[in-house]
Amino acid sequence: MRRYQLTIGGKTYEIEVLSLTGEQAQVLVNGRTYDVNFRPLAPGAVPPAAPQPAPSRPVAPPRPVVPPSSAAPAAPAPEKPAGAAAPGAVMAPMPGSILEVLVQVGDQVQAGATVVKLEAMKMENDLQTVIPGVVQEVRVSKGDNVSVGDVLVVVAAG
């Protein structure tokens, strides 16, 4: 349908609206699909201001208010340093346990291919690569516990 590039908290996200029905949309954010709900604002209406955090306690930034056709989830947790930001790095979006590793070093993968299954909060999450290429590294095994931002698989473009 429509594609957007959003910058939230200094990070850029590629957003594609896959479907839009009533007040529900399915969006693709950096290669990952999300189902989102939204509520249109009346013409000229100003979105409600986000509550201000107490100065003595750091709080995550509020979720951005975006137009209904480009609704997106909140920005993911900050990445860990030391090479975690490689374009082909598939990272843990939340702490959890590795249920299954679906690729091996040398495998050819397409953008959007599920490479790891992660269990977090009793839910199974398919973690996908955002670029096509060849699996360069597999840093986890079945049963491993991971933290937010841990690099699980690295895909080299190509």
User: Mind listing the pLDDT tens digit for each residue in 115-150?
Assistant: 999 998 889 999 999 999 999 999 999 999 999 889
pLDDT of residue 79: 46
**DSSP, res 99:** E
CA dist., res. 138 & res. 100, Å (int): 12
CATH fold for the domain made of 89-157: OB fold (Dihydrolipoamide Acetyltransferase, E2P) (2.40.50)
**DSSP, res 93:** S
Start and end residues for every CATH 2.40.50.100 domain found in the chain: 89-157
> CA torsion angle for 111, 124, 145, 79 (degrees, to 10)?
50
Amino acid at 108: Q
- pTM for the full predicted model: 0.48
